[in-house]
Each structure stands twice: as C-alpha cells, then as structure tokens.
Amino acid sequence: MQVKVLAFGVLKDLLGTATAEIELLAGSRVGDLLRILEQSTSNLRMETSVWQSLAVAVNREYSSAATELRDGDEVALLPPVSGGDNDGVGGRDAH
C-alpha cells in the first residue's frame, strides 16, 4: 500500500521535500513509517531529538505510533508548533 507523507517546518528542510509517496507493507503502523524514514535519513545528520519531539497526524488527526495506516492515508510529520506571537522563542540556525 502507499501513503502520502507531508513534512512541515524544519522537517521539510531536513528531509528536502514537502511531500513524498511511501510504499509500506499492509498492516504498517505510524511507528513503522517513522522507523523507515529515520533509517533512510540517517546520513543527513538529523538529530534524534527531531524524531523524538514530533507529532504525527493521519488524515488531519493527531495519531500515535500505534495507529494503523491504510492505503491512501495522508500522514503529516509535525515538528513542535510555533504559531502565534514570537514570545520568547529561540531556534536552530537554518542553512
């Protein structure tokens, strides 16, 4: 089966793309997808913290690593959000 992956914010820059179609085994869960992405980007010097701190939305609903995926799902990788005013925020230098 195939899912559509969307990346936002710093994850979009780190992965080098905003959208990707990913082929998965039937019965795969969000956690399986994250492991695949983490392995495929291990040469990108992405800090582990990026993977530890993100949230995942499946079809625009917050989901957990245990959420089972279905063919055609839209899976969004969400770094910690930073909407609103710029009150006391820091950040990592972009490239």
Binding mask 13-52 toward another protein (x if CB under 8 A, else -) reads x---------------xxxx-x----------------xx
- What are the structure tokens assigned to 24, written together? 């998965």
Minimum distance from residue 36 beta carbon to another protein (Å): 14
71 binds another protein (CB under 8 A): no
In order of 1, 22, 48, 56, 85, the CA distances from 28 in angstroms are: 9, 12, 22, 14, 38
Distance CA 73, CA 28 (A): 12
The residues binding another protein (CB under 8 A) are 6, 8-10, 13, 29-32, 34, 51-57, 60-68, 76, 78-94
